[in-house]
Structure 1
């Protein structure tokens, strides 16, 4: 959809022009941006958003995995305003804090599994993952194990876009042109069940993945490996759901080799899979570090958290004779307004029983998505609860992919958008991760729009002789 023929008020046209002329967007496609600019969204209500042309859309991606309690929640907005009038910001360096920072830390400790009792705050998932790695390296240095620096990540894993978090991210196309510290990282295979070797069943594929991990550890040397970082279900890599018991077995391998486990729940926490925290409740993994963001504040303000175990805290909190300070932190760590927002957001999630709602409706959502499997280019539908994806293929039987140049996911995205649904295109995949306010009617409308959009995409491909 292009905004070149603008019909909205002058101030909104000015915003469109200013954005195109001055703003640098995350992951900008400069083949189209300089010509078409951006769609200007200006209002939201539960699981709907509105652009400045007056178009209404089902927000099938919650902004970007974020707006769990829905857009325009007046209770949270009022609370943010009241907190801003009281105390918007004061630094939390060394001997300063605020009630909201202290109380949110206690709340996150209470909802996190096991002995994850200590919280470091930042402004998002990238910062939280960077902090996790810095803390891990510091921890092993304090233990007299300075060689334990290497990190195990995974192909197609996504952990952020700051310098180190981008290196942790195993989506190779995003790293082109950037000089990242990749010598620290070893990428393991993606638990990509749909494209596992044909001769393997799911159980054998899981064996294969674990055997690969063990071989990599043996090659690198466990004494050189600090940690393994993993999303319980991969998000931006294409909603990759691991084989049963894979995460628990990977965790056990790490524990056997003195390798810390970081669970990146930036996407999967705060109700998206039906739990406030999913690692232990859904996947039977007790991480050493838990990384949170996005749904932590439902995207109303930037907020992230790195939650660490008692074992790690006991080591890093011991003062060094040469420098008693833990020399890591940010101006906005423990931001009063952000933490107050996180506290109120969790209160709303719990009081309104969002997790129960997702547990109840999630299976229906997945079942309805699976009804699209009869369409000739739908190769796979996958995911869990309110975290789902469709993968498109040129031939269903062979799973032959479309050429990247066809932009199949983006084609479906555009057709869906003109019908009033926003999905996320990732190559040959469309992702669904809506606000947790999504109800049965929203699900049914989403599936109906997707069916029409995929059928129109098939027509286009035939006209262009691409199918």
Structure 2
């Protein structure tokens, strides 16, 4: 019989973990999850946890949803794999592409499938370059992202990401990538600056960078409608319309990375609808399948799609794709996942129950460790500070956040520490009573950490 100790030793010996201090992992070992049910996961000792991060911002319909397991099994029996190369296709990928385009109200025209959000954003970089070559603009290749952005970990998508840990000693970012200021008023705003004035300043900064680089060299601007791994940053009022206006002025494509925000997280099907974004590209993943299967999608509008099609005709092919692009099992699971989201009103639930989460977390604003509470729908963050008046962070940065995360796990709540911001992103199925329990466990963890600090 395999014991927990045996599993832990095997894990440490044979597996390199994502976003983990590999040296410390050898000393501490893993917390091994064994099963899930709804908003809960259980470790191999049987301990229950509220999964306050929906896994990785992604399990919309909760864990162990039987409909998704059944659909995957049925599709595996019928057609377990096929590709989309060389004029081939399969029914689930066709139906999913049509469904996704329909969900955008026809603003997008075509879908291209990948396995992950990283691959999807990497694909968009290639598409942007291909698009401008097709239009005879070989110099228009630079892409502007933002500090603290998260767009993935492949060479191109990690370059778009604006986090030092994703660049250090990987020789990134690529030379064609630029970054502008993070739209976080609490940390980046000037004394007394309003949200509107802050948005004006950020739009002016974007325009100044485009002019400095040369509008004929800047191809696209990418952003998450609400920044996730950078600390759950909700943009200031009027930010997106103003940034978008600058992009349109200089013929710069707009890319909305909805990997985290898509499929109801903010209380709207897509956060682009909430913030008035009219993108040329959208990136979708995570809640697309509730992460039951690896799948992501690049959606593009007709302006882009028609150019790509014409140029592939001139070259003889669109020379890009993945073995599992449009995988029939993943596509079938995505279709059923979207049906569940629609049938159970999970987008509305995110708005309704999300309002409770936001209110209850803001009830903790008076705590001496809490600097800012922010969020929208069922995504939020609580930022801890060493001094409320000056907003001074803890030294070292991340010390307090890591302590609260450990205390929360002891209390049966899984959160994510982003330096000293604690992120919340529970499954969309969470109920109001479950939110109350989640916040209660967090408050207890906060108090326990405060005693140590």
CA drift at 1:403: 1.2
Equivalent residue number for residue 250 of structure 1: 243
Equivalent residue number for residue 191 of structure 2: 198
Equivalent residue number for residue 80 of structure 2: 88
SS at match of 2:310: coil
CA drift at 1:115: 2.9
Equivalent residue number for residue 434 of structure 1: 426
CA drift at 1:319: 4.7
CA–CA separation in structure 1 for the residues paired with 2:312 and 2:436: 59
Structure 2, unpaired ranges of 5+:
none
Aligned with 1:365 (options 357, 375, 378): 357
Go from structure 1 to structure 2 and tell me whether the alpha carbon gap of 1:456 and 1:222 turns closer, same or farther (over 3 Å shift): same
CA drift at 1:182: 2.8
* 1:410-455 CA distance string (max 9 Å, x none): 1001111111101101111100000011111111111111111111
| Superposition pairs of residues 7-406 of structure 1, within 5 angstroms | 10-195=2-187, 196-279=189-272, 281-319=273-311, 323-404=315-396
CA–CA separation in structure 2 for the residues paired with 1:427 and 1:61: 16
* 1:364-405 CA distance string (max 9 Å, x none): 110000011121010000010111000000000110110136
Q: Output the TM-score relative to the length of structure 1.
A: 0.95
Worse overlay, 74-83 or 112-121:
112-121
Alignment size in residue pairs: 452
User: Contact 2:398/2:418 (CA < 8 Å) preserved in 1?
Assistant: no
User: Contact 1:193/1:241 (CA < 8 Å) preserved in 2?
Assistant: no
SS at match of 1:191: coil
SS at match of 2:109: strand
User: Contact 1:113/1:286 (CA < 8 Å) preserved in 2?
Assistant: no
Worse overlay, 259-268 or 433-442:
433-442
SS at match of 2:227: coil
CA drift at 1:13: 3.7
Equivalent residue number for residue 3 of structure 1: none
User: Contact 2:92/2:332 (CA < 8 Å) preserved in 1?
Assistant: yes
* 1:21-77 CA distance string (max 9 Å, x none): 111111121342001111110100010000001110000000000100100101111
Worse overlay, 181-190 or 301-310:
181-190
Worse overlay, 313-322 or 297-306:
313-322
* 1:95-140 CA distance string (max 9 Å, x none): 1111001110110110124431200000010000001111111001
SS at match of 2:364: helix
CA drift at 1:15: 2.7
The list of structure 1 runs, each at least 4 consecutive aligned residues, that deviate by more than 6 angstroms after superposition, is none
User: Contact 2:200/2:242 (CA < 8 Å) preserved in 1?
Assistant: no
Q: Output the TM-score relative to the length of structure 2.
A: 0.98
CA–CA separation in structure 1 for the residues paired with 2:311 and 2:124: 19
CA–CA separation in structure 2 for the residues paired with 1:375 and 1:229: 35
CA–CA separation in structure 1 for the residues paired with 2:26 and 2:3: 20
Worse overlay, 27-36 or 52-61:
27-36
* 1:184-225 CA distance string (max 9 Å, x none): 111000001112121312221111111111111110111100
User: Contact 2:281/2:300 (CA < 8 Å) preserved in 1?
Assistant: yes
User: Contact 2:259/2:283 (CA < 8 Å) preserved in 1?
Assistant: yes
CA–CA separation in structure 2 for the residues paired with 1:306 and 1:322: 23
Structure 1, unpaired ranges of 5+:
1-8, 462-467
Worse overlay, 67-76 or 406-415:
406-415
